[in-house]
Structure 1
Amino acid sequence: MAEGPKSQMPARRKARKRALDVLYESDLRDANILTTLDAYVGRMENPKPEHLPYAISLVEGVAQHLDRIDELISSYAEGWTIERMPVVDRNLARIAVYELLYVEEIDDPVAITEAVELAKELSTDDSPRYLNGILGRIADYAH
Structure 2
Amino acid sequence: MGARTKARKRALDLLFEAEQRSVNAVALLDERVAAPVTPAPLPEYTGVLVRGVVHHWVAINDALTTYSKDWPLDRMPAVDRNLLRIGAYELLFNDDVPDKVAIAESVALATELSTDESPKFVNGLLNRLAEVKSTLV
Alignment TM class, shorter chain as reference: over 0.9
Task: Quote the residue 1:120 is aligned against.
Answer: 111
Indicate whether 1:135 and 2:126 are aligned. Answer: yes
- What TM-score results when the alignment is normalised by the length of structure 2? 0.92
Provide the rounded CA distance (Å) in 2 between the counterparts of 1:76 and 1:26: 24
- TM-score between both structures, scaled by the size of structure 1: 0.88
Give the corresponding residue for 1:102.
93
C-alpha separation between the residues in 2 aligned to 1:110 and 1:24? 22
* Deviation for aligned residue 1:47: 5.9
Bigger radius of gyration = 1
Q: Which residue of 2 aligns with 1:5?
A: none
Structure 1 residues 35-61: Cα deviation after superposition (integer angstroms, max 9, x where no partner): 111223322456626xx1101100000
Match of 1:90 in 2: 81
Deviation track 1:99-137 (CA, whole Å, cap 9, x = no partner) reads 001111111010000000000000000000001111010
Counterpart for residue 53 of structure 1: 44
Give 1:29 deviation, angstroms: 1.3
Aligned-pair Cα RMSD in Å: 1.3
Supply the distance in 1 between the matched residues of 2:88 and 2:77 (Cα, whole angstroms).
Answer: 16
SS in 1 for 2:110: helix
- The answer on whether the counterparts of 1:22 and 1:40 sit within 8 Å (CA) in structure 2 is no
- Shift of residue 76, structure 1, vs aligned partner: 0.8
- Partner secondary structure for residue 58 of structure 1: helix
The structure 2 residue matched to 1:31, chosen from 1, 23, 32, is 23
Secondary structure class of the residue paired with 1:83: helix
Count the aligned residue pairs: 133
Q: Secondary structure at the match of 1:134?
A: helix
Unaligned runs of 5+ in 2: none
Alignment of 1:5-24 (within 5 A): 9-24=1-16
Task: Give the counterpart letter for 2:16 in structure 1.
Answer: Y
Say whether the 8 Å CA contact 1:73–1:134 is kept in structure 2. Answer: yes
